[in-house]
Structure 1
Amino acid sequence: MDGFKDYFIAEFVDEYVSGLITRREALRKLAAVTGSVAVAASLLAACTPAQPPAQPTPAGPSPAPTTAPTPQPGVTVPPDDPAIEAAGVTFPAEDGATILAYLSRPRGAGPFPAVMVCHENRGLVEHIKDVTRRLAKAGYVGLAPDLLSREGGTDRLDSAQVPGILGNVPPTRFVQDFQAAFKYLQAQPFVRRDRIGMVGFCFGGGVTWRVATKLPELRAAVVFYGPNPPLEDVPGIQAPVLAIYAERDNFVNPGIPAIENAMRQNGKVFERVVYPNTDHAFHNDTGPRYNAEAARDAWSRTLAWFERYLI
C-alpha cells in the first residue's frame, strides 16, 4: 500500500467485527478515512460483529480501599518522577512547519542515548507520553513528535478525526518529520548523537519501518505490530530491527513472511517475536486489548534491544 488508509480500514473493520466498537463508531471512523459514508457502510455490510459480553449484575458498594490506589491507566511513570525531566518541546520541520513533541530525559548532564517514539493512530496521547517517560527512567532520552502538528496538534482535534487525517497524509511527511526529530536530538547537548533509535506502535510501527528505510543513521528500531514498508525499500535499512507481533492480529500478520524474507535476503539484522493469545495493540494499557503479561515481556525485550545496540 502507498499509505496507511488501507491499514486503518482493516483495523477499524476488525475492531467492529471483534465487538470493540459499535456500528456507529465504525461508520464514523471509516467515513473519516474513506471520505464517504456510503463506502464506510459498504465495508461493514458483510461483517457480523461479535456479541458484546453480558453486563454483570450490579453489586453492592465496594469497601473502602485499604491500600493506595493503582496508578491511572496509561501513566506508569508520572511526569514529576524525581529521576526524570519531561516537557513539551518544538522543533522545525523541513517544510518550515513547527512540530510539537513531548520529550523525557534522565536527570543529569548526559549525554544519553535517545529513542524516538511514534504514536498510534490516536495521535500523541498520554499513553505515548508515558512511553517516553518509561524510556527516560531506563536511561534514554525519549522524544515523541505529534504527527498532527500541522493540523493544530492532537489535543486540539476531535479524536474521531485523527485516523482520517493520518490516513490521508502521504507517508513521506511522517518520515520527514522524524528525520527532523533526529536532527533535533542530535543538536541537544544531553544526547549521544550517534546513539539514536526508534520505537513505534500500530500505525507508528509502520512509520518506524518507513523511517528505518530512509534514515541510515538510525542505530536500532523496535516495531510493535506495524504494517510493512514498501519491500523495495528494505535494502535501505541499516538499523537492527526487532519486530513484535500479536498472534491474533489478522490484518498485520499476513505481511510477516514477506518482511521476514526481505530482511533475510538483504542481510539485515532482524528478530521476530509473536506473542501467543494476544491481539493487536496488546501493549497499550489504556486499550481494551491490553495484555499485561505480554506487554511487560515485550517492553523488557525492547529495552534489551536498545541496550544491545544503543549503549
Structure 2
Amino acid sequence: MTDQKIDDRVYALYDDYCHGKIDRREFLNRARAITVGGVSALAMAQAMLPDYAAAETVSFNDERITPRYVTYPSPGGTSGEMRGYLVQPSGDGPFPAVLVIHENRGLNPYIADVARRAAVEGFLALAPDGLSPIGGYPGNDDEGRAMQRTLEQPKLRQDMLNGARFLKDHELSTGKLGATGFCWGGATTNFLAVTMGTDLSAGVPFYGRAPDSAQVGRIQAAMLIHFAEDDERVNATWPDYETALKANEVDHEAHFYPGTRHGFHNDSTPRYDEAAAALAWSRTMDHFREHLA
C-alpha cells in the first residue's frame, strides 16, 4: 500500500503508536473504526507496520564492510556495560567515525542497516543498543519500545555518550567523530552536541527534539539538522533552537523536506519518502566528509 493511499488519520494514529501513546492493539482498533469510502482503515494501519526484511539496503555480508558486535564499559549508564554493532569499512584504517543512534525501540534492523550504509561510505560506524543492559533488542519494535520506556533517561543517554567516547578512542578511529540519530536518536544527537563540546566534530539529527536553548552555546560541532514538513511536535522546538544557534554563532544548516512525515528516512514503513531520504542521506554523508576529514 503506497503512501498516497493511507488516510491522514491513520498516520496520526501511527505517530501516537510509534511514540508510545497507544499500544499496537489500540492502534489497530482505532484504525478499524475509521472508514474510508465505506471501508475500514484497518488494512491501512496494518500496512504501516515495519517490514525490515524488504527494506535492507546493505547486506550484513557485503564484501565492502566487516560488521561485528562489541561490548564496552559504560560507567554511569544502565548497567555499567553496553553492546553495540560496529561496522568497519574495507581496508585497514584508521577511519573517521560515526555514531548511529536508534529510535525509541532499541537497535532494530533499520538502524543496523544505517550503520552499514555509513561504513560503505568509508566511516567506522557504531550503533549502540540501549536495550542491551536489559536483554537487547527483542526482535520486534513493540517489545523494544516497551523495554526502552522502562529505562531511566539520564542513564540511557549516558550509555550513548559512553558509546560515542568508545568509538572516538577506538583503535580503528582517526579520532574525528560524528553522530547521527533518528527521532529519539535525533534528540540524543543534540544532547551529545551540547555535552561533548569539541569531542564531537559533526552532528546530524533527523527529526529530533531540540536541546535546552540555554545549553546550545556549548555546541562546537557543525550541525546539519533534518526535519519532516509534517511533524508538528518536533518542529515546534525549532524556532527557539534556531534562535539560540544563531545567537551563539554555531555552525549549522537546517532542511525541511516538503511533503514528508516524521520518520521519512525509515524505509521499512510507508512514511518513507525515497527522494527526501536519499537527499538527506547524501547531505549527511557530505557533511561528515567535510567535517571529519
Normalised to the residue count of structure 2, the TM-score between the two structures is 0.82
Q: Flag structure 1 segments of 5+ consecutive residues without an equivalent.
A: 1-14, 33-39, 56-70
In percent, how many aligned pairs have the same letter? 34
1:82 match? 63
**In 2, distance between residues paired with 1:226 and 1:51?**
32
Instruction: Please name the residue that 1:160 is paired with.
Output: 142
Say if 1:87 and 1:102, in contact at 8 Å, map to a contact too. Answer: yes
| 1:106-117 correspondence to structure 2 within 5 Å | 106-117=89-100
* Structure 1 residues 241-283: Cα deviation after superposition (integer angstroms, max 9, x where no partner): 1110011112111111111111111111111100000100000
Which amino acid in the other structure matches residue 30 of structure 1? K
| Partner secondary structure for residue 260 of structure 2 | coil
Q: Which moved more, 1:169-178 or 1:113-122?
A: 169-178
8 Å Cα contact 1:221-1:240 kept in structure 2? yes
AA of the residue aligned to 1:205: G
In 1, Cα distance between equivalents of 2:216 and 2:125: 25
- How many matched pairs? 270
Q: Deviations over 1:165-217 (max 9, x none)?
A: 43454432233212211232234221111x11100001110111111111111
Q: TM-score, normalised by structure 1?
A: 0.78
1:184 lines up with 2:175 in the alignment: no
Equivalent position SS for 2:261: coil
Where 1:124 maps in the other structure, the secondary structure is coil
RMSD over aligned CA atoms reads 3.2
- Quote the residue 1:171 is aligned against: 153
Q: 1:234 & 1:267 partners in 2: Cα distance? A: 10
Which of the pair is proportionally richer in helix?
2
Q: 1:30 aligns to what SS in structure 2? A: coil
Q: What's 2:205 paired with?
A: 223
Equivalences for 1:31-46 in 2 at 5 Å? Answer: none
- Give the whole-Å Cα distance in 1 for the aligned partners of 2:103 and 2:135: 17
Match of 1:307 in 2: 289
One-letter amino acid matched to 1:140: F
Letter in 2 for 1:116: L
SS at match of 1:199: strand
Any conservation in 1 of the 2:69–2:85 contact (CA below 8 Å)? Answer: yes
Cα separation, 2, equivalents of 1:305 and 1:115: 12
Q: Distance in 1 between matches of 2:157 and 2:137?
A: 18
- Work out the CA distance in 2 between the residues paired with 1:306 and 1:18: 37
Gaps of 5+ in 2: 1-5, 41-51
2:266 corresponds to: 284
